[in-house]
């Protein structure tokens, strides 16, 4: 690597056109480190580590691009799988085609990245296979999922899906849509319609709503490439607007995009719109905010040159970076396959669904019987109330003429002729009268001559009357308790 780098440095200025980081500050320190055989990586700053990564790509790109391209052309799904967990390859659920999904916000350059893949991997030249939002169609947006065979081969072992861009101001909807794609899968011509969309029906636009899509194969997403517009994010940061970077972090760090312990690959585009210093600084700030390495799984790729041509012949570093990103995505895809379901697994799954169904049935039956029991209990209570005189709504108190009372009491007009308050007052008056009569009888007995037999008889009579009065009070209390328990008390 040291010799190759020195040879590259001796080339003319025209061949150094794609070494854009050479004009950035502290790039000469990286050149000094290259002269050391084994530099201490632990003492390197993030900026120097980034320079070393860019130098690595520049050294490998001239000779490594064709070699890596041939590996991708001959790739078949599962070729990069390595034995793990004691499971054979025949027992793994490896799909016939691995699926790479491009996601990002509107204007991030996903469709331009697809065209660059066709140009580099499929040797298609300048033919655009994916429609972009550049030029006269600046308002164009991808409304449907598009599956691309970027190798243009019938035996291709992978495909790349182009999706519709998200809005910085509506990350919640973006997270929900991403979760559905990762859990349910995606297919070609799958609609990406959202709330508030207005589908044009003019003559120059096909009726895309009627596109047949039910017969396309549903594919499970194996790896995700997150495409971010570094120029847009960095300019917003300089203006004090952190919203694009925060929205990028919410989507990039979403658990739905993680495959095992792997983060999605980060592709930074539109870096040619910034100066070399801004490009380096923007990449470092984005990686620091996303809490990821600035050299591992992050690629800075320019899709088009300033003249509108693809960058393969002008920037071999970007061409190799894109090829390596696809290669890395396939490595992640083959490492994330799951074992096939066996008979025991299907039996347990069916048993689980049966138990869930039975639990649901029992819950419904319990709810139905609970409602029926409640109705039956109400009916019994109403019958008891009707039998105990609940319908006597015309009863009035003979003293205060009220019709509502917690308890009807006996009075001079008969039983249950007074309300609770009037009955208590009547009872108190009656007790007071009984007390006066008792005192007068006692005084009369004291004034009479004391005869032993007569005195004993009087005490016996008075004691018997007191016992009878106490007995009547206990009977009334027992009767009131029975009436309350039978539900005869009403308001």
The DSSP line for 334-371 is HHT-EEPP-HHHHHHHHHHHHHHHHHHHHHHHHHHHHH
Predicted confidence (pLDDT) at residue 204 exceeds the cutoff of 50: no
With contact defined as beta carbons under 8 Å apart, do 324 and 121 qualify?
no
With contact defined as beta carbons under 8 Å apart, do 381 and 454 qualify?
no
- Considering only 13-22, 255-264, 465-474, which range has the smallest mean pLDDT? 465-474
- Entry field: residues in the chain: 491
CA 213 to chain centre: 27
With contact defined as beta carbons under 8 Å apart, do 211 and 144 qualify?
yes
**Would you give the DSSP letter of residue 101?**
E
CA 163 to chain centre: 20
With contact defined as beta carbons under 8 Å apart, do 303 and 112 qualify?
yes
Please tell me the distance from the alpha carbon of residue 399 to that of residue 427, in angstroms, as a whole number.
13
**Would you give the DSSP letter of residue 306?**
T
Residue 430: per-residue pLDDT:
82
Average pLDDT, stretch 305-312? 51
Residues 6+ apart with CB under 8 A from 302: 269, 270, 271, 272, 311, 315, 318
Residue 489 or 220, more confident: 220
Residue whose pair of structure tokens reads 């790039």 in the numeric block: 27
Nearest 5°: the CA angle 473, 397, 427 is 25
Nearest 5°: the CA angle 161, 164, 165 is 120
> pLDDT tens for residues 403-425?
888 888 888 888 888 898 898 88
With contact defined as beta carbons under 8 Å apart, do 291 and 245 qualify?
no
With contact defined as beta carbons under 8 Å apart, do 162 and 241 qualify?
no
Coil/strand/helix, residue 141: coil
400: phi then psi, degrees, rounded to nearest 5: -115, 0
Closest CA to 48 of 64, 36, 60: 36
Rg (CA), the chain: 45
> pLDDT tens for residues 73-89?
999 999 998 888 888 88
Q: Which whole-number Å values give the CA distances from 411 to 401, 408, 475, in the listed order?
A: 14, 10, 16
CB half-sphere exposure, 63, CA atoms < 13 A: 6
Say what the pTM is.
Answer: 0.66
Count of beta carbons in the 10 Å neighbourhood of residue 17: 11
Confidence at 262, pLDDT banded by 50, 70, 90:
confident
b (16+ CB within 10 A) / e for 437-452: eeeeeeeeeeeeeeee
CATH of domain 2-82+94-338: 3.40.50.300
- Considering only 102-111, 191-200, 270-279, which range has the smallest mean pLDDT? 191-200
Closest CA to 219 of 149, 159, 144: 159
Cα pseudo-dihedral 179, 181, 183, 189, rounded to 10 = 160
b (16+ CB within 10 A) / e for 361-391: eeeeeeeeeeeeeeeeeeeeeeeebeeeebe
With contact defined as beta carbons under 8 Å apart, do 133 and 53 qualify?
no
- Considering only 22-26, 385-389, 427-431, which range has the smallest mean pLDDT? 385-389
Confidence at 133, pLDDT banded by 50, 70, 90:
low
Residue 416: per-residue pLDDT:
80
Q: Which whole-number Å values give the CA distances from 11 to 14, 15, 24, 276, in the listed order?
A: 8, 6, 19, 20
């Amino acid at each position: 690597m040291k010799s190759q780098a020195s040879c590259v440095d001796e080339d003319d200025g025209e061949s150094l056109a794609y070494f854009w980081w050479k004009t950035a500050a502290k790039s000469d320190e990286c050149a000094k480190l290259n002269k050391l055989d084994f530099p201490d990586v632990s003492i390197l700053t993030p900026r120097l580590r980034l320079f070393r990564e860019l130098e690595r790509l520049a050294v490998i790109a001239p000779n490594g691009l064709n070699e890596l391209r041939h590996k991708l052309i001959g790739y078949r799904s599962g070729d990069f799988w390595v034995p793990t967990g004691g499971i054979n390859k025949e027992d793994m659920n490896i799909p016939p085609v691995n699926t790479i999904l491009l996601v990002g916000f509107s204007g991030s350059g996903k469709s331009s990245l697809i065209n660059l893949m066709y140009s580099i991997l499929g040797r298609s030249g300048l033919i655009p296979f994916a429609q972009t939002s550049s030029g006269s169609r600046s308002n164009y947006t991808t409304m449907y999922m598009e599956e691309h065979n970027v190798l243009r081969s019938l035996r291709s072992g992978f495909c790349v899906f182009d999706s519709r861009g998200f809005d910085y101001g509506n990350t919640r909807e973006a997270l929900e849509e991403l979760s559905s794609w990762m859990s349910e899968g995606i297919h070609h011509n799958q609609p990406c319609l959202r709330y508030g969309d207005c589908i044009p029906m003019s003559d120059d636009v096909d009726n895309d709503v009627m596109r047949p899509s039910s017969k396309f194969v549903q594919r499970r997403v194996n790896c995700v490439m997150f495409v971010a517009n570094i120029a847009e994010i960095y300019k917003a940061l300089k203006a004090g607007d952190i919203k694009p970077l925060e929205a990028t972090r919410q989507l990039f760090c979403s658990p739905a995009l993680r495959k095992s312990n792997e983060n999605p690959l980060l592709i930074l585009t539109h870096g040619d719109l910034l100066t070399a210093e801004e490009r380096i600084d923007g990449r470092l700030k984005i990686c620091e905010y996303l809490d990821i390495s600035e050299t591992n799984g992050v690629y800075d790729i320019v899709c088009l040159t300033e003249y509108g041509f693809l960058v393969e012949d002008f920037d071999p570093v970007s061409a190799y970076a894109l090829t390596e990103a696809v290669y890395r995505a396939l490595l992640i895809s083959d490492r994330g396959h799951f074992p096939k379901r066996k008979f025991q697994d299907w039996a347990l799954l069916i048993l689980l669904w049966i138990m869930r169904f039975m639990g649901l049935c029992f819950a419904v039956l319990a709810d139905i019987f609970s409602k029926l029991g409640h109705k039956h209990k109400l009916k019994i209570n109403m019958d008891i109330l009707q039998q105990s005189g609940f319908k006597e709504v015309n009863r009035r108190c003979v003293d205060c003429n009220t019709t509502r009372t917690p308890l009807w009491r006996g009075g001079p007009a008969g039983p249950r002729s007074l309300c609770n308050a009037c009955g208590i007052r009547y009872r108190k008056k009656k007790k007071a009268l009984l007390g006066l009569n008792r005192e007068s009888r006692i005084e009369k007995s004291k004034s009479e001559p004391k005869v032993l037999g007569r005195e004993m008889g009087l005490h016996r009579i008075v004691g018997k009357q007191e016992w009878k009065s106490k007995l009547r009070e206990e009977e009334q209390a027992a009767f009131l308790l029975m009436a309350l328990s039978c539900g005869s008390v009403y308001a």
